[in-house]
Structure 1
Amino acid sequence: MNYVYIVECSDGTFYTGWTNNLEKRIEMHSNGIGAKYTKGRGPVKLAYHEIFEDKRDAMRREYEIKRLTRREKSLLIKEYSTNL
């Protein structure tokens, strides 16, 4: 499985990424070793995720989400939270 995810950093900003081990990746971000952007912005909170069979599809979706505005990402997260 491949995951595209959005985490909310402790400073309120969002970070989008992809991984094949979501739990481990979130833990890495929270410990400051997940990505340069999230280093020093932890702990992070998982706000959104999607599941893909194919790595290329996950990476394509990550790119699409990264191009969204903050407002659009917030709406995506809100819709996701409502459907849980």
Structure 2
Amino acid sequence: MDTKPEEFKSNAWVVYIIQSEFNKLYTGITNDLERRFNEHLNSQKKKARFFHFSKPDKIVFCESHSNRSEASKRECAIKKMSRKEKIALIEKGKT
């Protein structure tokens, strides 16, 4: 994705999908995408359990929301999607 984490530095909440080194997809929310990606990459205490077995490779999708509630609802909806649906969402976000 061409979007860089620093483009989402604001008080907005961001729903993101990270692709791991083994091509798996992880969905999460944050209010600081660059910080959160670095935590997943480097922090033993703050990274998601998902990344204990597979390092994050790149952010493939991000979507800004005005508050945490909206972002959480969207995160939940994305997590319920099949892998095929998530890939379609990622591809749609690239256009």
2:25 is aligned to 14
State the distance in 2 between where 1:60 and 1:45 align: 23
Partner of 2:35: 24
Q: Which structure 2 residue ranges, 5 or more long, are not aligned?
A: 1-11
TM-score (normalizing by structure 2): 0.81
Identity among equivalent positions (%) equals: 33
- Using the alignment, how far apart are the partners of 2:29 and 2:70 within structure 1? 10
**Aligned positions, number:** 82
Paired residue for 1:59, among 53, 72, 78? 72
> How far 1:40 moved relative to its partner?
3.0
Q: What is aligned with 1:74?
A: 87
TM-score by length of 1: 0.91
* Cα root mean square deviation, aligned: 1.2
Which 4+ stretches in 1 moved above 6 angstroms?
Answer: none
